[in-house]
Structure 1
Amino acid sequence: MALIEKFATLFGVPEFVVPHMSSFVSDRDMDLVVGMDGQLCSVSEIAIRMECTSEQAQDLLEGCYNKHIVNREKRGEELVYFAADFYERLDYVCKFDENYQMKVGPELRQALDHWCYEVYTERMGPYLESLQNGETVDRVPETFELIENLEELLDSVREIRLVPCNCRKLAGQCTKPTGTCLGFDHSITDRTFGQSLTKEEAKEIVKMAHRKGLMHQVNSDWRTNGLAWICNCCACCCYPTRLALEKGTKGVFPVIQYVAQRDEDKCSHCGACTKRCNFSAFSLGETETVIDGKIRRKVEFDPEQCWGCGICVETCSDKAITMVRVG
């Protein structure tokens, strides 16, 4: 079996990516994964298989670990390495390879997004089932948090890391900014690359994201276990939101804390909220009304469609929308 074919099998590379392999991995990366042959390997074992010194094997493994070509774990007192997979490698490449979009082009990018979302959906299946059954899970689901609460949350953390949004990098369904995901404190690992931020810089990122119409998702246990991350999300690209819409898991994944409330007496039916809302809670109805001598289509509001993200509030010049806590 040729090197590329064997690597593709071991690394879980989809068939349509094989002709574009050089855009994602090097020959040395492939040599290493094929040499590991699906096994857990120590540095000394890799040195033998790759016919190099232990120092060279260590450097190779650490470089490939940082690039998400291999993963590692402790076995007794020794670190052992094993191959990652293309799904994990793609996540790294789309976020940190500055030439990613130029390399893949629009057709390949669309195919990668479709494939990646399918893999994500499959892997999330057991997790969603456990959540819906009320079973214990190893990671709490996300929840939307209001912009006015985020400054206090950001003041509570110590370390902040900014990383690109992999969902928008992959999907590219909108022109909203991608430098918007924030990781904090215990969620930051030796593989959380990106830019370190001050609290003030992080607050500006969140404010910018809010102005652009992005919703703010956080770990739903932040009150008890601290803030782990803030993802500033759209509904067209965000994998968790797309999955929740598709599977109808609102309330469980994500957890819902708030619901919009409209004061119809204040509403001028300008329609601004209908453009901002990601979930069609606000929509233009068929009936008309006259406001200040102008005929406008009435804005309909269905609170059952609201997910509680709160990005509609600031867009209402009439101050007709407020958020109220549920439950």
Structure 2
Amino acid sequence: MKDTYRKAMEIWEVPEVFYEAAIPMYRDHEAELAVRFGRDPVSGQEICRLLREWGKEEAERLLFESYQRNVLEKCQDDISKETFYRMTDFYSRYPYFAQYEPEAYGEFTQETVDRLNEWDLKVYMDRTAQAALAIAAGQDVPMHQTQYLTLQESFDMMDTLGEELIILPCNCKAMGRCTEKPVNVCINKLVKGPNTPYDRKLGTILTLEETKKLIRRINKKGLMQSGENNVLCNCDGVYCYPTKMARILGTRLHYPTSHYETLWDEDLCVQCGKCTRICNFEAFYKDEAGKVKFDPEKCWGCTICSANCPKGAISLKKRVTEPGSDLTENR
């Protein structure tokens, strides 16, 4: 490995075990910029000047591509309000590589991907597990994907976000190389400003009506709606980091919070098996005789089964919660 890259890896905070894996995620001039400036802010003009000095044509394009790929992020001087750029770390860069450079990511061996994701999940949990546990204990703390939403609640949430929304690839599914379910499913309020997908020219802008149709389609494919504020995630039971973390922490029903109890009327069930195909937790399953069964102890209360039962055999009952207490069910 070139000495420049080795120094850059330290600046990007790449674990040494991933030095070789990280090389395809960066370009030579980005490593040189990292060594030159470290993580200090630097103006776009200075970056472009150096790129030209190094014989790089279209310096402005290269600068934007580094920003678009989240090798660089924008920051603002508190006094002058001038915009500068600075290097991100490896933890910030890796998901962008998986999301937006899938062909290059596809060159990685599965063993490398598994090791990267094991490390990435650990960092994620180091940063978020305490907040998840606080939410599970009934505390109101800032966090993402804190609750499951019904299909109608998801539509209602979209109504508050404006007439245009932006759809992005799910970082969890992209990093996990998901192929069995849709990946382009993260829905965000369209926000314009530094370091937003819009400013980086990423994602797809959809109308409100197009977004609701997308939610309905992916709900039918077994993706669970969760979120709050300006983001709606459409999660699964295999790749989703909050779900993985919740399994490790043992916070089923509490984080992500379930607001509804799932009720199954066996007499109304026509044994179509759709619930068994879309359930992310095997709460609905088929027994040895091929009959649909329901195990409420495995249910996470995500609600997608009720929206997809053709005969109304699956219904929801609102749970009752009291501030600071465990989540209880209204029976």
Give the TM-score normalised by structure 1.
0.80
State yes or no: 1:31 paired with 2:32: yes
> Match for residue 8 of structure 1?
9
* Pair 1:63–1:100, CA change in 2 (3 A): closer
Q: Secondary structure at the match of 1:197?
A: strand
Give the TM-score normalised by structure 2.
0.80
> Match for residue 316 of structure 1?
309
Aligned-partner Cα distance in 1 for 2:193–2:235 = 20
Bigger drift between 5-14 and 132-141 goes to 132-141
* 1:184 corresponds to which of 180, 189, 192: 189
> Offset at 1:44?
7.0
> Offset at 1:194?
0.6
Alignment of 1:41-190 (within 5 A): 41-42=42-43, 62-75=64-77, 76-77=79-80, 78-132=82-136, 137-139=141-143, 141-158=145-162, 159-172=164-177, 175-186=180-191, 190=195
Q: Give percent identity, aligned residues only.
A: 27
> Offset at 1:43?
5.2
Aligned-partner Cα distance in 2 for 1:95–1:217 = 20
Cα offsets for 1:24-45 (capped at 9, x unmatched):
1100111111111243445577
Q: Report which of the two has the higher share of strand.
A: 1
Contact 2:41 2:75 in 1 (8 A): no
Aligned-partner Cα distance in 1 for 2:43–2:290 = 70
Alignment of 1:165-314 (within 5 A): 165-172=170-177, 175-186=180-191, 190-192=195-197, 193-219=202-228, 222=229, 228-268=230-270, 271-284=273-286, 297=291, 299-302=293-296, 304-314=297-307
Contact 2:221 2:278 in 1 (8 A): no
Q: Secondary structure at the match of 2:246?
A: helix
> Offset at 1:108?
2.5
Which structure 2 residue ranges, 5 or more long, are not aligned? 321-331
Cα offsets for 1:166-192 (capped at 9, x unmatched):
111111355111111111145986431
Which structure 1 residue ranges, 5 or more long, are not aligned? 223-227, 287-294
* Pair 1:176–1:2, CA change in 2 (3 A): same
* Pair 1:152–1:189, CA change in 2 (3 A): farther
* Pair 1:129–1:33, CA change in 2 (3 A): farther
Aligned-partner Cα distance in 2 for 1:164–1:264 = 38
Counterpart AA for 1:172: R
Aligned-partner Cα distance in 2 for 1:114–1:245 = 15
Q: Secondary structure at the match of 2:238?
A: coil
Aligned-partner Cα distance in 2 for 1:50–1:186 = 31
> Offset at 1:66?
2.6
Aligned-partner Cα distance in 1 for 2:4–2:118 = 26
Counterpart AA for 2:295: F
Once superposed, what is the RMSD of the aligned Cα atoms? Answer: 3.2
Q: Secondary structure at the match of 1:118?
A: helix
Aligned-partner Cα distance in 2 for 1:133–1:259 = 19
Counterpart AA for 2:241: Y
Bigger drift between 235-244 and 200-209 goes to 200-209
Bigger drift between 264-273 and 138-147 goes to 264-273
* Pair 1:322–1:23, CA change in 2 (3 A): same
* Pair 1:188–1:297, CA change in 2 (3 A): farther
Aligned-partner Cα distance in 2 for 1:186–1:252 = 30
Count of paired positions: 309
> Offset at 1:13?
1.7
Aligned-partner Cα distance in 2 for 1:195–1:298 = 39
> Match for residue 18 of structure 1?
19
> Offset at 1:234?
0.8
